[in-house]
Structure 1
């Protein structure tokens, strides 16, 4: 375990097993409606989750990336800024938005609205983590890997000050590191 991590919340093995389950569920549900979603991953945090999840989706999927931000330090500021938009049109397409964590929900709500305004037929959300205690808007992910308590989590894509993304698990950062 990394010296700055207080405890491991979700092990690498648990993440892989849950990605297998989510991949099967997503494949089955999209196959049932005869649709192949475009996976839209939000940079940078969702990349490890996307990389693991796509191994377990049995569809001819495509993916693209958006870079949006709503954080300054450790707090969500409410507004989102699009730093990198999609490379393709989403008009008439089913979107599966890939997120690392649903925290306040503000970013997810705004990105979902943006994709619908661009003409997406449907927007669903798959998130590795859900932190419902921090939610300030009414939005839920359609597929959730793990619910986590209101603690500062890092690893498997999640960062503090651009560090810890490469940890192979999700852990709780020691208070003294970010306070």
Structure 2
């Protein structure tokens, strides 16, 4: 099994790029069906979602607008439990259909923060699309989590937009730490 090293950690392959591409294509098809007569605002959560969002947008045929929000709640391999917003949401979400695109949902702390900000603008609908979901790490249910690429164990992962101390985002596959983080 292929392993890589980033700084002081070893990682092994979890999801190959082919698997990611196939699942992204299926999510894109579902979004095309669900939003066929609407024009959603698709908001990527930076930095992690950029690769998934770019590939997902290539699969979406419906009219849509694109925006980004950047938030952070990580320190190394663990969430800090508090969220700091680096740059924020568009201010024109009222009566619009919103799709938030995440790289990963684990505790849900960051996502709850973003959803609170989005809902305060009274959009018509809000759905979350996440490439990865760690159900065992989730602290409370997130009803808006509608589109999930892969459910994974509560392990630290890197690659395809996800990083370890800023490194590894450029990897085309997703790797998991060989020793729990």
Please state how far the C-alpha of 1:58 moved relative to its aligned partner: 1.2
Partner Cα separation in structure 1 for residue 141 and residue 63 of structure 2 = 32
1:103 aligns with 2:106: yes
| Partner residue, 2:72 | 69
Please state how far the C-alpha of 1:35 moved relative to its aligned partner: 1.4
Q: 1:156 aligns with which of 141, 157, 160?
A: 160
| Higher mean displacement: 117-126 or 48-57 | 117-126
Partner Cα separation in structure 2 for residue 3 and residue 82 of structure 1 = 31
Structure 1 segments, 4+ long, off by >3 Å, are none
The TM-score normalised by the length of structure 1 is: 0.91
Deviations 1:125-150 (A, max 9, x none): 00000111111122152000011111
1:46 aligns with 2:56: no
Please state how far the C-alpha of 1:2 moved relative to its aligned partner: 5.3
Q: Which has the higher helix share?
A: 1
| Partner residue, 1:17 | 22
Partner Cα separation in structure 2 for residue 138 and residue 51 of structure 1 = 27
Please state how far the C-alpha of 1:30 moved relative to its aligned partner: 1.1
Deviations 1:120-173 (A, max 9, x none): 221100000011111112215200001111111000001110001111011112
Q: 2:136 aligns with which of 121, 133, 146?
A: 133
Partner Cα separation in structure 2 for residue 144 and residue 74 of structure 1 = 22
| Partner residue, 2:122 | 119
Please state how far the C-alpha of 1:75 moved relative to its aligned partner: 2.1
Deviations 1:51-80 (A, max 9, x none): 110111111212100001112232222222
SS at match of 2:111: helix
Q: 2:174 aligns with which of 167, 170, 174?
A: 170
The TM-score normalised by the length of structure 2 is: 0.90
Please state how far the C-alpha of 1:88 moved relative to its aligned partner: 4.8
SS at match of 1:58: coil
| Higher mean displacement: 35-44 or 114-123 | 114-123
Structure 2's unaligned 5+ residue stretches are none
